[in-house]
Chain A
Amino acid sequence: MTDEIKILVEKFTQGDQSAYTELVRRFQKRVYVLAYRMMGNHIDADEVTQETFVRIYEKRHELKTISYFQSFLLRVASNYAIDLLRRRQKRFISIEDETEMLPSVQAELVENIALPDKDLENAELAEIIKQAIDRLPPRQKITVALHDVEGYTMTEVAMTLGCPEATVRSNLHIARSKLKKWLAKML
């Protein structure tokens, strides 16, 4: 955490509204991007982002003992996104049962097989990868989103998720095995 952020956080915990506004301004994109990776659409990402900051405001007293504002912030965002995904899961289908791909996705994969491997300008290809990530259970999904997609280090991910690095590693391993299987035709 840079000194500047530290000062802002300290002012914020003392009830300074302009410090809060500044933190919102500086971190809203980061929260939104993670929320988008988790939720897969703009409307939900927007909800997660707004709710995250409201919660941060409510939890501002806890921040006095926190040394990594960003991890705390992203943790609040992840927890909310995971909650939301789990609630959705209950209402629709179980994503936990992800042994096989949906036939439509499989068909799409076959269709796209001729595409060059790294042609990610191709929106369709990106969409297929996004769909595959969306099929991961929430914990594995957040781990992949933070580490593999957004490039946070293993330590940062562990801090954000509040779990040991070994757990992050094992979640990543399982998630990647699934992705490799689902995206086999592209790899």
Chain B
Amino acid sequence: MNCRHIEIYGDYYLSNTLSPPLRAEFEEHLNGCAPCRTNFERDKKLFGLLVSLPLPNPPEEYWQNLEKNILAKTFEESRLEFIENGIKKDSSIKEYLRFAIPLAAMFILLFSSLLGNFGFLNPFNMIESTRFYSYNIELLGNYQIQAREPIEFLSQTEGVLIMSAPGNAGYGLLIMAQMQSHGRGNDL
């Protein structure tokens, strides 16, 4: 082992990952080479200082709040965007999704209003009134839902959205059709 090797193997030596024969060679070189020894001693000290830097130690309640804050931020930022007026377009949706999702959504709206239980989502009312709450929902793509009252989102698993709109239709649940990745909407 030469001086260059010592520089390379120093790390492995310090982290105890050098094989016993190499370890022995390493030590043998150090014993006979003063410059390497000095340099290695400094490395070792630096390493010691770095690993013993104290851990940041915020109060225990910080961790509990952190979890809450992360969850709140995640779902506020990446899921639901409340839009008072107008419909936001998302240009990043793939061509087919842009086409298929509104179509599927229209189908669901129409289907549910025919059933009579989900009148709050009657798409035809949208023409008559502009006083709707509009939600931009990102699941597999981006699509919009409009309702007369704020909608409460209960839970969501991939492609399925469960929500209730108390002010509109009692306490009904609407399960959105499952959107497959190819963008087709299935029946409710």
Contact = CB atoms under 8 A, between A and B. Distances in A.
Partners in one complex: yes
Interface of A: 14-17, 20-21, 24-25, 28-29, 32-33, 36, 42, 45-46, 49-51, 53-54, 57-58, 117-118, 120, 123, 126, 129-130, 133, 144, 148-149, 151, 153-154, 169, 172-173, 176, 179-180, 183, 186-187
A151 B51 contact: yes
Contacts of B51: 148-149, 151
Interface in B130-176: 155-159
Determine chain B's interface SS by DSSP, over half rule: helix
A32 B69 CA distance: 13
B99 interface: no
Contact of A54 (B41, B48, B58, B73): B73
B35 interface: no
A29 B158 CA distance: 28
A61 B49 CA distance: 40
A42 B56 contact: yes
Contacts of A172: 11
Contacts, number: 98
Interface residues of B, number: 34
A128 B124 CA distance: 68
Contacts of B54: 120, 123, 126
Interface residues of A: mostly helix, strand, loop or mixed? helix
B46 interface: yes
Contacts of B70: 24, 28, 49-50, 53-54
